[in-house]
C-alpha cells in the first residue's frame, strides 16, 4: 500500500539499498582449461541476471556474464571490449563516477559506443593499466582480460560490497595454475566437481553466523578481499591491494565540531547523489530508522517527484507503521509495504 493506504502497481524499481537477489553475476575460467564449465556456471547465476547472457571465449580465457539491466539497458551488453578487441571485461555492479571518467576519455580521443560504465572501465584500463582500478568509485566485481599483455585481472570494490569468489587449480602438464571465479559459490562449484566442506569454516559459521574472509566453508574456495585485485598471467597468480583506507583518510586535527559536521553532511550528500545514477526507476528500502530516513531526505532533494519507498512488516506488528507514515508525510514519497 502507499502512504494513503492504497495499493500501488508500478514498474520494476532498482532500490537504492539493493537487497534483492536480482543483480548481475559474472563467472569464468582463466588458464589451461577449455572452459567447458562456463555454461553450467552461468545457469547458476540466472537469478542474478535474468535479462541476458554474454560469453567471451578464447584460448586460455572464458568470461561469462548474466545481466540485470540498470545502466544503458539497450547498449550495455556484456562482455564489453575496446575498439581493437584487445581488452575485454565483465562486471557485476556499478561505477558511480563513470560519467566523469567517460568525459575524460572522450576528450583524449577514445570512441565509446555505449552509455554503460563497463565500457568506461575497459577504455580507462587501456589508458592507465592497473592504476585505472584506483580511480573507480562504486560497488563492483570485475574480470578483465588484457590480450596484448596476456594477463587477466579480477578486481573487487574498495568496501567489498560486491562478492567475488575464486579457486586456484594447479595444472598437471606444465605446472601452471588456472583460476575459476564467480559471483556466487554454487556457481563456482560447477567447475569444482571434487569440492568438499572445510570443517573449520562450518564451525565458524555455526558460532558467528558468517565465515570471516578470505576463507569460505568450501576447501580451496576463497573470496577476493575488499580493495584487492588478482592478476593471472602464464599460470602465475598474484594478489595486489589497490586500495587501503589508511592512505585516503583525512588528518584534520584542528577541525571544529561545526567544520567536521559540515564536511560529513557534504560527503553524505555527494555520496547519495552519486548512487542515483540509473537508467531505470529508483526506490529506497525504508526501515524507519535514522539511516534510511536520512537517505530518503537527501534522495528527495535530488529526485523529481515523490520517491518510491518500500518496507517489510509482519502481521500484528503495527507500532513501526506509524513511524513510516510520519516519515513519508514529512518527506514527500510513495510508501509501499509488504
Q: How many domains does the chain have?
A: 2
Q: Are residues 259 and 232 in the same domain?
A: no
Last residue of a domain, one of 243, 269, 291: 243
Range of the domain at 42: 25-243
User: Is 107 part of a structural domain of the chain?
Assistant: yes
Grid cell in block for residue 18 = 539493493
Please tell me the distance from the alpha carbon of residue 36 to that of residue 26, in angstroms, as a whole number. 16
- Residue 71, judged by CB atoms within 10 A of its CB (0-12, 13-18, 19+), counts as buried
Q: Are residues 307 and 209 in the same domain?
A: no
Give catalytic status of residue 328 as yes or no.
Answer: no
Q: Are residues 221 and 257 in the same domain?
A: no
Q: Are residues 198 and 68 in the same domain?
A: yes
Its pTM stands at: 0.80
Q: Are residues 224 and 122 in the same domain?
A: yes
pLDDT, one tens digit for every residue, the chain (338 residues):
333 333 333 333 333 333 333 478 999 999 876 678 999 999 999 998 888 889 999 988 999 999 877 666 666 789 999 989 999 999 999 999 999 999 999 999 999 988 889 999 999 999 999 999 999 999 999 999 999 999 999 999 999 999 999 999 876 545 567 999 999 999 999 999 999 999 999 999 999 999 998 999 999 999 999 999 999 998 899 999 999 887 666 666 677 889 889 988 998 898 888 888 777 778 888 777 788 888 888 888 887 777 888 877 666 655 555 565 556 555 556 555 55
Q: Are residues 60 and 146 in the same domain?
A: yes
Q: Are residues 157 and 190 in the same domain?
A: yes
User: Quick one: angle between helices 117-128 and 98-107, nearest 10?
Assistant: 50
Q: Are residues 191 and 297 in the same domain?
A: no
Instruction: Report DSSP letters for 24-57, one per residue.
Output: -EEEEEESSS--TTHHHHHHTTTTT--SEEEEEE
Q: Are residues 168 and 226 in the same domain?
A: yes
User: Is 328 part of a structural domain of the chain?
Assistant: yes
**CA distances from residue 98 to 162, 210, 255 in whole angstroms, order as listed:** 17, 33, 32
Catalytic residue among 15, 24, 27, 244: 24
Q: Are residues 29 and 94 in the same domain?
A: yes
Last residue of a domain, one of 217, 243, 269: 243
Amino acid at each position: 500500500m502507499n502512504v494513503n493506504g492504497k495499493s500501488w502497481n508500478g514498474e520494476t524499481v532498482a532500490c537504492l539499498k539493493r537487497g534483492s537477489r536480482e543483480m548481475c553475476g559474472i563467472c569464468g575460467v582463466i588458464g589451461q582449461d577449455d572452459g567447458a564449465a562456463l555454461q553450467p556456471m552461468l545457469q547458476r547465476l540466472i537469478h542474478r541476471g535474468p535479462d541476458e547472457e554474454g560469453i567471451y571465449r578464447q584460448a586460455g580465457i572464458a568470461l561469462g556474464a548474466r545481466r540485470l539491466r540498470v545502466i544503458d539497458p539497450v547498449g550495455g551488453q556484456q562482455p564489453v571490449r575496446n575498439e581493437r578487441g584487445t581488452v575485454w571485461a565483465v562486471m557485476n555492479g556499478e561505477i558511480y563516477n563513470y560519467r566523469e571518467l567517460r568525459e575524460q576519455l572522450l576528450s583524449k580521443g577514445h570512441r565509446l559506443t555505449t552509455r554503460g560504465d563497463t565500457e568506461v572501465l575497459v577504455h580507462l584500463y587501456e589508458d592507465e593499466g592497473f592504476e585505472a582500478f584506483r580511480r573507480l568509485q562504486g560497488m563492483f566485481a570485475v574480470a578483465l582480460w588484457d590480450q596484448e599483455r596476456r594477463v587477466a585481472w579480477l578486481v573487487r570494490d574498495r568496501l567489498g560490497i560486491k562478492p567475488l569468489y575464486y579457486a586456484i587449480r594447479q595444472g598437471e602438464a606444465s605446472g601452471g595454475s588456472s583460476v575459476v571465479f564467480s559471483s556466487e559459490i554454487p556457481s563456482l562449484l560447477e567447475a569444482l566437481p571434487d569440492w568438499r566442506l572445510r570443517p573449520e569454516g562450518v564451525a565458524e559459521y555455526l558460532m558467528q553466523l558468517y565465515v570471516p574472509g578470505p576463507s569460505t566453508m568450501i576447501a580451496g574456495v576463497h573470496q577476493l578481499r575488499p580493495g584487492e585485485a588478482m592478476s593471472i598471467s602464464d599460470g602465475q597468480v598474484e594478489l595486489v591491494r589497490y586500495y587501503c583506507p589508511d592512505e585516503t583518510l583525512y588528518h584534520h586535527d584542528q577541525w571544529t565540531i561545526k567544520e567536521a559536521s559540515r564536511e560529513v553532511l557534504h560527503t553524505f550528500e555527494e555520496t547519495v547523489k552519486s548512487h542515483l545514477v540509473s537508467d531505470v526507476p529508483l526506490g529506497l528500502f525504508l526501515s524507519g530508522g535514522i539511516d534510511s530516513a536520512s537517505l530518503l531526505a537527501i534522495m528527495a532533494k535530488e529526485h523529481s517527484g515523490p520517491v518510491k519507498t518500500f518496507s517489510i512488516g509482519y502481521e500484528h506488528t503495527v507500532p513501526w507503521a506509524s513511524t513510516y507514515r510520519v516519515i513519508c508525510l514529512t518527506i514527500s514519497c510513495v510508501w509501499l509495504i509488504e
